[in-house]
């Protein structure tokens, strides 16, 4: 009963603050619209991490092997995400950003309810797959939409709001998992997964109030009048001038031009490497398997779930830091700082496992790792990918970057039980090797950032194209 009461209080307080945020947003049109679109990120974060609390109970319930558990239980949502990322660019480009944002909410709702009620691992996998498709499409449509409605001065912060909502969703998922322990007995995990339906329904209703992207309206319908009205409502300082700039840029574009052409080689390579290095940092490995990693370090199951909340809290705090600095110091400086933090923290976590330095020592550097990610890669990736492609292929470029990100996320999540399973894992006695590998990859990321990464701070979307030699 105590857990039920605490859970009720927490959700009541969250609902109160959510209403306060919405009330403020309603007085600031562009912030409201960006916030609603970014709520797709909240569901993305929640859906991605909520499985961490259900991981061990499901393994025990259905007595799954490491390979089966990795493929059908833990990584199935990520394979859905890969499909969503690979194919979500086409409908986002063809039908518009708003319609796709709405259907993302529908997919999340179906997934949450279906996963909670699933009678067997196969139906569970199916509904998790559907949610994954929503995550994959979300990582295309939401950043693209926000980038296209934002002014140059605040574009980084508004698009990064999507990442903030991702980590906010991650934190709430960790808190929810912790509080719902004991709520439903053996069915705790069903409540953990099913509660996602509440924010999914709220988001789906709210997204009906947002306008279509003005850049998409011009690019696909040459509807300057509607686009100008939207930009004016969004607070653009000179809507007519901005419309003219978009029309000039659009006039240089060839519609239905293939993404994979020599013209777009540079943004394609940039999108590939930032997405590749994002996952080879080990971020999804740690978020998905945080309780299990902490148990390997010697923490009890309940303590490991509680400490997962600390991971989510640090993620949220330092995402704020990234949001503050992304339009001040720029994307490149945040990537450099993040890379250095990755290298230090991953090396120290490896050292902790190798020397058995203790759970507290390891936990402190896991938090440094999360902080480094939150203000570096985490804050930058979706902003950067949404900036580097021109209007006519932006959704497709976002789709490519997101699909690279999710393919590697799925592979890492699939393979983790094979290496980390407590009874059969190949590296169950030597998990430090995994962290040494990730630290090495972050050294390569630092070299790439220093030599190849362009700064896009304070540059209009149209000028970025010229900077990259596209137009």
Q: 325-364: per-residue pLDDT in tens?
A: 998 899 999 999 999 999 999 999 899 888 888 777 888 8
C-alpha–C-alpha distance, residues 121 and 248, integer Å: 53
Question: How is residue 210 annotated by DSSP?
Answer: S
Q: Where residue 4 falls among pLDDT bands split at 50, 70, 90?
A: very low
Q: How far apart are CA 382 and CA 237, in angstroms?
A: 25
Q: How confident is the model at residue 310 (pLDDT cuts 50, 70, 90)?
A: confident
Per the prediction, the chain carries an average pLDDT of 83
Q: What is the pLDDT of residue 297?
A: 62
pLDDT at 263 exceeding the cut of 50:
yes
Q: Work out the pLDDT band at 249, boundaries 50, 70, 90.
A: low
| Domain 2-210+254-467, CATH number (from 1.20.1250.20, 3.40.50.10700, 1.10.260.30, 1.10.357.10) | 1.20.1250.20
**Would you report the helix, strand and coil content of the chain in percent, each value rounded to 5?**
80, 0, 20
Residue-wise pLDDT for 265-289, tens only, equals 999 999 999 999 999 998 878 876 7
Q: Please write the tens of the pLDDT for every residue from 150-189.
A: 877 788 888 888 888 988 898 888 888 888 877 767 788 8
Q: Which of 63-72, 134-143, 443-452 has the lowest mean pLDDT?
A: 63-72
Question: Pick from 392, 410, 413: which is nearest to 402 by CA?
Answer: 410
pLDDT, tens only, 50-59:
887 777 788 8
Q: Which two tokens stand for residue 467?
A: 């900077």
Highest mean pLDDT among 123-137, 228-242, 346-360, 400-414: 123-137
In whole angstroms, give the CA distance from residue 420 to residue 28: 48
């Amino acid at each position: 009963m105590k857990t039920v009461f605490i859970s009720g209080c927490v959700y009541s307080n969250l609902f109160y603050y959510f209403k306060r945020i919405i009330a403020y947003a309603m007085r600031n049109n562009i912030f409201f619209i960006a916030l609603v679109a970014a709520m797709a990120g909240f569901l993305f974060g929640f859906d991605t991490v909520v499985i961490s609390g259900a991981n061990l109970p499901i393994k025990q319930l259905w007595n799954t092997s490491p390979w089966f558990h990795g493929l059908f239980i833990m990584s199935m949502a990520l394979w859905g995400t890969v499909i969503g990322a690979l194919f979500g660019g086409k409908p986002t480009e063809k039908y518009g950003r708003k319609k796709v944002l709405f259907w993302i909410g529908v997919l999340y709702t179906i997934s949450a309810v279906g996963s909670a009620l699933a009678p067997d691992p196969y139906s569970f996998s199916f509904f998790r797959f559907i949610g994954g498709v929503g995550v994959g499409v979300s990582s295309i449509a939401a950043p693209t939409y926000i980038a296209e409605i934002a002014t140059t001065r605040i574009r980084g912060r508004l698009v990064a709001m999507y990442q903030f909502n991702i980590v906010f969703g991650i934190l709430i998922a960790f808190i929810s998992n912790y509080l719902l322990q004991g709520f439903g007995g053996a069915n705790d995990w069903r409540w953990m997964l099913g509660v996602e339906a509440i924010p999914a329904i709220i988001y789906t209703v709210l997204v009906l109030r947002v306008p279509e992207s003005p850049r998409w309206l011009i690019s696909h319908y040459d509807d300057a009048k509607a686009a100008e009205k939207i930009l004016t409502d969004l607070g653009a300082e000179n809507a007519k001038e901005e419309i003219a700039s978009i029309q000039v840029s659009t006039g240089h574009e060839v519609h239905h031009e293939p993404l994979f052409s020599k013209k777009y080689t540079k943004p394609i390579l940039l999108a590939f490497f930032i997405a590749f290095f994002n996952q080879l940092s080990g971020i999804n490995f740690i978020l998905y398997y945080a309780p299990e990693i902490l148990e390997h370090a010697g923490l009890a199951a309940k303590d490991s779930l509680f400490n997962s909340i600390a991971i989510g809290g640090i993620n949220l705090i330092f995402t704020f830091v990234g949001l503050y600095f992304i339009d001040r110091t720029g994307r490149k400086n945040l990537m450099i700082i993040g890379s250095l933090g990755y290298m230090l923290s991953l090396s120290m976590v490896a050292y902790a496992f190798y020397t058995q330095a203790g759970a507290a020592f390891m936990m402190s550097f896991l938090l440094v790792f999360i902080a480094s990610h939150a203000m570096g890669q985490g804050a930058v990736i979706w902003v950067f990918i949404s900036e580097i492609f021109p209007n006519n292929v932006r959704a497709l470029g976002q789709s490519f970057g997101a699909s690279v990100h999710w393919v590697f996320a799925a592979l890492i999540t699939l393979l983790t039980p094979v290496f980390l399973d407590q009874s059969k894992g190949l590296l169950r006695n030597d998990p430090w090797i995994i962290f040494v590998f990730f630290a090495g990859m972050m050294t390569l990321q630092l070299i790439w950032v220093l030599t190849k990464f362009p700064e896009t701070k304070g540059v209009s979307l149209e000028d970025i194209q010229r900077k990259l030699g596209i137009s």
